Structure 1
Amino acid sequence: MIRPPRRSSATPAASVFAWTVVGVLVLGLAAAAWIGTRGALAAGHLASAQAGVSAAAADGDDLAAALSRLSTVGADTRAARELTSDPIWTASMALPWVGPQLDALTRTAAAIDDAVATAFEPLAEASAGLSPESLRPVGGAFDVARLAEVAPAASTAAAALRAAADDVAGIERAPLLGRLADAVTASAQQLDTAADDADALRRATLLVPGMLGADGPRSTLVLFENNAEWRSLGGVVGAVAQLDADDGRLTLVAQASSPEFEPVATSPAGELPADVQSIYDTRPARFVQNATQVPDFSVGAPVARELWRRLSGTEVDAVVAVDPVTLSYLLRATGPVALPSGDQLTADNTVSLLLDEVYRRYSGSREQDAFFQSASTAVFQAIADGRADPAALIDAVRRAGLERRLLAWNADAAQQALLDGTTLQGALPASDAGTGVFGVYLNDGTGSKMDYYLHPQVETASCGEGMASVHVTLRSDAPDPATLPSYVTGGGEHGVPPGDVLTGVYVYLPPGAEIVGQRTTSDGDPPGFAGGVHDGRRVLKWSVQLAPGESADLDVTVSVPGVTAVSAVSTPTRIPDEVPRAGTCRSGE
């Protein structure tokens, strides 16, 4: 008799285990499919949102249009956030390897959605109707109330965007797949740029209405710098003008040239800090021409204000500095303007006409000053009359500010604080924990206008852990001095032969930096060195004299603990491209 096989007692358990494994695999595959599908959809929505942001950037000069476009990406960002926050997705974030990928996508989607909901959409609503055309003066007055109305939303947006940018920037990149890591980095950069732009708008909406007289009459002293005779912040102050504003209406009420200040420059117009005096003596406090000599506009601006009070009896509320290059940018917005001399001042001829041709045409300083004043008056009047294209005007001001050609100081501390951290302050270079910033400032020692023919080149480099170098080259392409007016060459009155150029180069080291080595090469006489300390920064002064066709080089090596990258700021010259750049490490020993 054949007996049926006995069933193993383990069979039920094995079946349960097998079906459990199958179930787990099925659920895992389902979860993977679920996550993969939702992740792909979320990525698509984020890509669509980023495309919308890029399109809005193209409308950057039209705030209302840009914000309106940005507000429409909300549907995509909300969808991406919902797709990356369901229970299955959230639970999977605890898994190894895949978890960091999901977490990064979730945080990025949430940050961008928060930015849209709490920044773009409210700001778009508040700025409706704030187009470039609305910024044109009507009847000679700017609509300051409309700009001021945007301030609360701009402040909220700036804070929300900065929080979102910081959140995405804090996502650990190391565990992420390459494409996802790149996407997170791009999102962080985009949010950071948006946060900076919103902060700039916040500052503008809080500061500009007041400067245009929204809160009552206000006076501003404008200093016109001459880049043909260098000072640390640009050029010697050759002329000034007082602009009064009241409820958006600007009026040019007075002008003066630097020689007119001589009768009131009998004593320093304020006491300079001891460390400043140790480097620059008291000259920046005694002459309006030197109001831009100290590379900190908060030092020179009050001096100019006090000298103007002595001369005119008016105590202005603010001081602004501009140069001919700034005027050329403004003329791209206004178009050419006619001068009483019969000249037409354009964006292309402003610099050469004001810094070169005027000295060949007029031998007397009074005639030269009158020409400068007529040029500045014509540009101002074109802006006040509403002839400037608003978008181009905003771009001109932005560019001049970034190039440190446009500086501002407010007597009211609260208003001045709105400029903290911006190039408009004309402050000493600021370093952070990882980046050291040099300052290279140029000052004429010839008493001439020969810096029109002098060209600087500044290069910085990191030389390994805690070491850095800065390289400075000065080159003269001056013509035969016999072809130049004595007013331009200085005529040898200050001990420098006509045609030669004596320059004081002040190199500000990053805070905490110490000089390891310094060396120079020069076609002319051996240069001289001096030094000092300004606001905790070591300062090296290099004095060098060049004849036409000569050049000289300075190399400085420093130790600066904790710094892994370096950069520099320098005196803006008549040529916008003459800016600091990255170079190779050079030994100063």
Structure 2
Amino acid sequence: MPDSPRFAPLHPRRIFAAAVCLVAVAGLALAAWVGVRAALAQGHLLQARTALSAMPSTVDASATAAEALRVVAVDTSAARALTADPVWGFAERLPWVGPQLSAVSDTAAAVDDAVTALAPLARASAGLSAGALRPVDGVVDVSPLTAMAPAAADAATALREAADRVAGIDRTPLLGRVAKNVSRAGDLLGSAADTADVLRRTTALLPAMLGADRQRSTLVLFQNNAEWRSLGGVVGAVAQLDTAQGRMTLTAQASSADFAATAGTPVAALPDDVQSIYDTRPARFLQNTTQVPDFSVGAPLAREMWRRAHGTTVDSVIALDPVTLSYLLRATGPVRLPSGDELSADDAVALLLQESYRRYPDPREQDAFFQSASAAVFQALADGDVDPEALVEAVTRAARERRLLVWNADAAEQAILDGSTLQGALPAADARRGTFGVYLNDGTGSKMDTYLHPVVETAWCTADTASLHVELRNDAPDPDSLPPYVTGDGEYGVPPGDALTGVYIYLPPGAELLERRTSSDGAPPGFAGGVHDGREVVKWSAQVAPGQTARLDLRVRLTTPELAAVATPTRDPDEIPRPGPCRFSA
């Protein structure tokens, strides 16, 4: 009996064709499965992003935010589930398409983790409003902040981990659209992590500084940007602020002239590397406690000077400047001074750094005017006549611009500020970013720096060499039109109207100085140097007459992939370091 055709052996070509068909069908099924789930996941993530963007940002809307997060969590959880099944995981191992899918699933998981971490914080702050933080009869109720502290700490940790996870995704193999979405998610998570970190620090430290557990004393240093020091300006007026159970009291005020008795010998020994660059002046004169560009060095010196002069050992030291006062005035509104002046956000800097010197030739009268201005702003804050949202923005901006500095004698409390600009520390040693420090110090013995304008620019010259450009321009009017106290009147050998500046340039750790060039319309520049905390320091002394400009260019060898600079904050918030052209030929 002949064999039935259905039992005939299959030809190899048929086997191969069948296999190809099966692979094709499986591939199509896999592509369809992954494609559909990717589209659905993308839809959920877009909905979540839209909802987050529309979420109210004010503290008063925290209850609304908590509800919005619950809605967002549904979408982020769905996106995570859609990109975490076994089929998707198998596809992640495929060439080319695998990295795209891995990036999507990793991003979805990180976003979901972030939203999950925010939920407890939203619940903890649901009863908190901006009005609840406003002082009532001079008292701030810090209990809501204290209650939020654990949730804020957990959220900050989780958000930073999520942000770092997305930041670590390799963008190289990603398609344009995928790379763009990953970058957007990374930016969103990074911003959220930064905000959560600020909240963590605030809820951990502010209640203690407001005397939640015991009475606290804080020394406030008012820096004068018209006479530069590394951290902002000379310390002219000082005040002691006492707090207990949230009640703030301005206990005492003084002028730098009141510390003349302590100016003879150092109040403490300076580290050898600091003393080799700045001598002992920061430890002898209150005005110079902000000369070292590390507030952890100068703040304890000011604390000891205050103890010797007034008998009180304070727990903390804060430094701020007239620009910070102008920011705070946007929250309080104009305040009336004993002189009859109305101090507002728009005129505070000009009134304090220029007009006051025309009115009051006696430095003690100038300091008294500063004290009255700071006391009036403090009283407005203590009275609670303040816009809380504007106050948060004022403090945040001042901290970002390094105008607001904080030091706590308690090491554990100070550690809460680690890595923040509030510490006024030297630029962090970072394997990824090489950061120059450019610190300005008046050498004229005058208030001419209100007319001096710096430019700081950084640039890459080659793959491993970078340049720093520093420029000082003097736009002072005719010196004869200025009070002698402003010009210095030649008391320290500098002609009236000229400005002598010592510029201390801290090279990034590991940088090698290759070349320096100067050009100046005035006196030839002078150079000195040293090493501070392992960083090479180049001191450039430039004397600039009205209408003239001095310039310095440095070229260094540097191996970090990124480049940055920080500089002394001046009276003009726009005078900040920026990218620029390389000033050296290849």
| Bin of the TM-score, shorter chain as denominator length | over 0.9
**Compared CA separation, residues 167 and 4, structure 1 to 2 (3 A):** closer
**Shift of the alpha carbon at 1:90?**
2.6
Which among 198, 201, 215 is matched to residue 200 of structure 1?
Answer: 198
- Tell me the alpha carbon deviations over residues 214-255 of structure 1, each in whole angstroms, 9 at most, x when there is no partner: 111000000001000000000000000000000111000000
CA contact (8 A) 1:297 1:425 kept: yes
Q: Under a length normalisation based on structure 1, what TM-score does the superposition of the two structures give?
A: 0.95
Q: Aligned partners of 2:343, 2:64: CA distance in 1, in Å?
A: 33
| Cross-structure match for 1:494 | 492
Q: Aligned partners of 1:216, 1:428: CA distance in 2, in Å?
A: 32
CA contact (8 A) 1:516 1:588 kept: no
**Shift of the alpha carbon at 1:21?**
4.7
**Shift of the alpha carbon at 1:110?**
1.3
Which among 155, 159, 162 is matched to residue 160 of structure 2?
Answer: 162
- Tell me the alpha carbon deviations over residues 431-462 of structure 1, each in whole angstroms, 9 at most, x when there is no partner: 41132100111101111111111000001111
Q: Aligned partners of 2:374, 2:5: CA distance in 1, in Å?
A: 109
| Cross-structure match for 1:29 | 28
| Cross-structure match for 1:456 | 454
| Cross-structure match for 2:413 | 415
**Shift of the alpha carbon at 1:12?**
8.6
Q: Aligned partners of 1:484, 1:243: CA distance in 2, in Å?
A: 35
| Cross-structure match for 2:73 | 74
1:586 equivalent to 2:573? Answer no
1:538 equivalent to 2:536? Answer yes
Q: Aligned partners of 1:328, 1:489: CA distance in 2, in Å?
A: 25
Q: Under a length normalisation based on structure 2, what TM-score does the superposition of the two structures give?
A: 0.96
The number of residues matched between the two structures is: 585
**Shift of the alpha carbon at 1:429?**
1.2
Q: Aligned partners of 1:166, 1:176: CA distance in 2, in Å?
A: 18
**Compared CA separation, residues 73 and 415, structure 1 to 2 (3 A):** same
| Cross-structure match for 1:114 | 113
1:565 equivalent to 2:565? Answer no
**Shift of the alpha carbon at 1:519?**
1.4
**Compared CA separation, residues 190 and 258, structure 1 to 2 (3 A):** same
1:576 maps to amino acid: P
| Cross-structure match for 2:131 | 133
Gaps of 5+ in 1: none
Q: SS of the residue aligned with 2:39?
A: helix
**Shift of the alpha carbon at 1:501?**
1.0
**Compared CA separation, residues 487 and 100, structure 1 to 2 (3 A):** same
CA contact (8 A) 1:61 1:391 kept: no
- Tell me the alpha carbon deviations over residues 351-402 of structure 1, each in whole angstroms, 9 at most, x when there is no partner: 0000000111112222212211110000000001111100100000000000
**Compared CA separation, residues 467 and 18, structure 1 to 2 (3 A):** closer
1:180 equivalent to 2:178? Answer yes
2:351 maps to amino acid: L
The answer to which of 219-228 and 94-103 deviates more is 94-103
**Shift of the alpha carbon at 1:55?**
2.3
CA contact (8 A) 1:436 1:510 kept: yes
Q: SS of the residue aligned with 1:159?
A: helix
Q: Aligned partners of 2:226, 2:175: CA distance in 1, in Å?
A: 54
CA contact (8 A) 2:315 2:409 kept: yes
Gaps of 5+ in 2: none
| Cross-structure match for 2:318 | 320
Q: SS of the residue aligned with 1:219?
A: strand
State percent identity of aligned pairs.
65
Q: Which residues in structure 2 correspond to 1:324-339 (within 5 Å)?
A: 324-339=322-337
- Tell me the alpha carbon deviations over residues 499-535 of structure 1, each in whole angstroms, 9 at most, x when there is no partner: 1111111111111122211111111111111111111
Q: Aligned partners of 2:70, 2:5: CA distance in 1, in Å?
A: 73
Q: Which residues in structure 2 correspond to 1:122-521 (within 5 Å)?
A: 122-521=120-519
The answer to which of 422-431 and 232-241 deviates more is 422-431
**Compared CA separation, residues 98 and 587, structure 1 to 2 (3 A):** closer
**Shift of the alpha carbon at 1:586?**
1.5
Q: Aligned partners of 1:244, 1:397: CA distance in 2, in Å?
A: 20
Q: SS of the residue aligned with 2:273?
A: helix
1:525 equivalent to 2:539? Answer no
